[in-house]
Amino acid sequence: MKTDLLACDGGKPVRAAEFPLWPVFGETEERLLLEALRSGKWGGANRSKLPELEEKIAALHGAKHGITMVNGTLSLTVALKAAGVQPGDEVIMPSYTFIATATSALLFGAIPVFADVEPDTLLLDPERIERLVTPRTKAIVAVHIAGAPADMTRLKAIAVRHGLVLIEDSAQAIGAEWDGKPVGALGDIGSISFQSSKNLTAGEGGMLITNDDKLADAAWSLANVGRVRGGEWYQHERIGWNLRMTEFQAAVLLGQLTRLEEQLRHRERNAELLTQLLEEIEDIGVMRRGLLQTRHAYHLYMFRLAPELADR
């Protein structure tokens, strides 16, 4: 796609070159896809590359368990159900997020309760949470919006104080770190998305990561038609779905993983430059980055326009 972007005053184009292709791929992805094709193991029940992917993604986030799924929306739903959230229970989440955070609860009758976000970070404001806790509250969903880690230190303290499950919506935040530790498994369980726009993508797909053995077993069962690990193939202990990822998606993601670290560094370099330039422009406010946000994934670059601009 060739794009000519004109300067605001209608002058010389500020960009006439093509934008870089996304996603980036090459011989590695092609080789791994052919291996999956020729293996004859294509579905999520005939696993060859999926275990390797789950192990690598879990290790990247300091987690014991990784459970691949069809997408990030349903992986959030599974996280809630694995944590014991029932229809009618309340789930506190930020008011500024993608719709899937809310629909993941609504899909089985849980009730989203929206807490406001900090205006200078757009992240869930810990100060707003405790006043929303009721006897029906069962979980908090922390969204690392745009790849910026939410305040996991304060959110974990609130969750522990009230006996709530803390779930991380890390759909946009693979590779991000809070206080030097990868987000995703800092709470009880975390959800990742591999949708087309994400920093690590297979076109579609999702994954849960956790250090909790019971949550991992429950999530695996819910995504595998109610089966139990180590049980018989037709041993179904609960109502579940078939939410398994395919071997083809796993192949693509294993290839994409080889590019992730350099891409994250590139995003950080670009964001640092953009921040420096935007800080010089009146009526534009860049997002505050806290000292404990030790790595920002920069899935998106967020900034604010002054309200007065709406009247111009």
Residues tagged active-site:
198
* Angle, vertex CA 122, rays to CA 166 and CA 203, nearest 5: 75
Residues 6+ apart with CB under 8 A from 77: 104, 105, 107, 108
| Structure tokens given for 251 | 């192949």
| Structure tokens given for 32 | 């791994």
DSSP string, 83-143: TT--TT-EEEEESSS-HHHHHHHHTTT-EEEEEPB-TTT-SB-GGGTGGG--TTEEEEEEE
Helices (H), the chain: 27-39, 50-60, 72-82, 99-106, 152-162, 213-223, 247-278
- CA dist 168 and 237 (Å) reads 27
Stated length of the chain: 312
Residues 6+ apart with CB under 8 A from 54: 65, 66, 67, 68, 207
